[in-house]
Structure 1
Amino acid sequence: MRVVCPHCLAVNNVPKKDSYKKANCGKCKQSLLDTKPMELNERNFDEVIANSDIPVIVDFWAPWCGPCKMMAPNFERAAESFPLKARFAKVNTENEQNLGARFGIRSIPTIIVFKDGREVDRVSGALDVNALSSLASRYAV
């Protein structure tokens, strides 16, 4: 399966397994098992979405948004359970207004799940760890 490196954005081919002990990027050699949410912007968004065979769960947020700040630690904790099963990413709609407009983001936080290059699910409002994990589990490979 194709996986985008969260560090250098190189596309890696990784064998599909139930679990992974080690998986490093062929280009930068950093771990593909890193679950820290990626920062997406107009330059890298389409590349990451199109080249990921695993679902990409994107949090559209803004730094001034109280519920967004409350949900951020939950988003990071949920991501820890899905190494190479789902990629968690964030889009700062304050800096990336065109992406917010492109996806019709009317309220934040809004979580959009992308699979096979297209939107498959959307949830608005702050979610707890269990709700985020449940959402990711529905689409994880």
Structure 2
Amino acid sequence: MNDSLHISCPVCLATNRIPSARLKHSPQCGRCKSQLFAGHPVEADSETFKRIVANTDIPVLVDFWAEWCGPCKMMAPIFAQAALELEPECRLIKVNTEQAQQLASHYQIRSIPTLMLLHRGQEVGRQAGAMDLNNLQRWVRSHL
């Protein structure tokens, strides 16, 4: 049984192979030495999104948002807090739909905020609208 996972570095996007047992022990990137889990969401453009989703074996929770969206602004600190609570069970990334319009279109994002949970590139859950921290954690863990 292979007990290693591939994890993309949120800084340099290098793919790191980490033993599962070491995920909770503050693993560092082999290339740039940054923390692989820094306790905050990764701001992702289309290319960063694609690389993280393609090269990360743990689930990836995506917050599709926009600067002008009131509920998105309310959701931002909750999503940031969720990163502290949910990493390293999953990677949290934020995608600004105004800057990554093709990505939002590809995933048919119709309202924001929209949360999407991907695992090994496949969508396993989607939730439109803002959530509080407890409901967000419960929703994510129900799909893990």
TM-score, with structure 1 as normaliser: 0.93
Change (3 A) 1:37 1:61: same
**Match for 1:117 among 106, 113, 121?**
121
CA deviation string 1:14-68 (max 9, x = no partner): 1112862331100000111212101121222221111110000000000000000
**Cα RMSD after superposing both structures:** 1.4
1:46 counterpart residue number:
50
**Which contiguous aligned blocks of 4+ residues in structure 1 show a shift greater than 3 angstroms?**
none
TM-superposed deviation, 1:5 = 0.8
TM-superposed deviation, 1:136 = 2.4
1:130 counterpart residue number:
134
Are 1:76 and 2:80 matched, yes or no? yes
Confirm or deny: 8 A CA contact 2:125 2:143 kept in the other structure.
no
Mind listing any 5+ residue stretches in structure 1 that lack a counterpart? none
Rounded Cα–Cα distance in structure 2 between residues aligned with 1:119 and 1:18: 26
TM-superposed deviation, 1:80 = 0.4
SS in 2 for 1:17: helix
**Residue pairs, 1:32-111, within 5 angstroms:** 32-111=36-115
TM-superposed deviation, 1:2 = 0.5
Answer 1 or 2: which has greater helix percent: 2
